[in-house]
Amino acid sequence: MGPYGATIAMKGYETILLVATGLGVVAVAPYLQGLVHATRAHEIRSAPVHLIWHIPSWKQAHAVFDIIDFALALDEGDDTEEGGRKPPQISGIKISMCYEEEKSSLPPKVQLFIREMEKKESEKPGRTRIKVYNRDLPLETLLINDAVISPAQGDSEKPTMIAASVSKNMRNKLVKFAGEHSSAVDLVFTDYQP
């Protein structure tokens, strides 16, 4: 699945967290898309996938929005069967984005996107697929809420996979978290680290 370097095996986990800083999202996005494809093709059991993306600058990040849009559209896809409609199988992608810049300094298209996501979140708290944060990414809270910390069920050795392409500071936080929960969490870094 990965475009550069070694491919990270992601089958058999109960939940998968993809964590990226800035353009590091380019290193984890193919896994996001690959997991959606594999789930829709029934190659793997549907596992919740959460992309946690810290965006220091929208100047870089806006270039990869299409990757995220594609994965979300594919996840919602349109499955049809002969003689009728079959409801789409949604793999359970959710995305948490945190930006560091002042909202007023962002490009108009990005400001509109953020307003739309904030409106959706206010209408359906906790039930939207994209959550946008400004300045303070609650990384530890997101990890605790989404990582399966209990012992593995079924075929998996560990229930949670964290794959990351992140800054040194965030890498240190992930290593600490994975160390504290080593019996339940596999932490892998992509070959590309921003």
Q: Is the separation of the CB atoms in 116 and 129 below 8 Å?
A: no
Residue 53 maps to a domain: yes
CATH code at position 106: 3.40.50.80
Amino acid 142: pLDDT: 92
Tens digits of residue pLDDT in 66-116 = 777 777 777 665 443 444 445 444 457 888 989 888 888 888 888 888 888
Residue 112 maps to a domain: yes
Residue 63 maps to a domain: yes
Tens digits of residue pLDDT in 147-170 = 876 655 555 567 899 999 999 999
Residue 126 maps to a domain: yes
With 0-12 / 13-18 / 19 or more C-beta atoms within 10 angstroms meaning exposed / middle / buried, residue 98 is buried
Q: DSSP string covering 139-152, please?
A: HHHHHHHHS--SPP
This prediction has a pTM of 0.82
Q: Is the separation of the CB atoms in 47 and 86 below 8 Å?
A: no
Residue 194 maps to a domain: no
Report the SS3 class of residue 92: coil
Report residue 63's pLDDT band, with 50, 70 and 90 as the boundaries: low
Number of domains observed in the structure of the chain = 1
Q: For the ranges 30-34, 45-49, 109-113, 151-155, which has the lowest average pLDDT? A: 151-155
Residue 119 maps to a domain: yes
Residue 9 maps to a domain: no
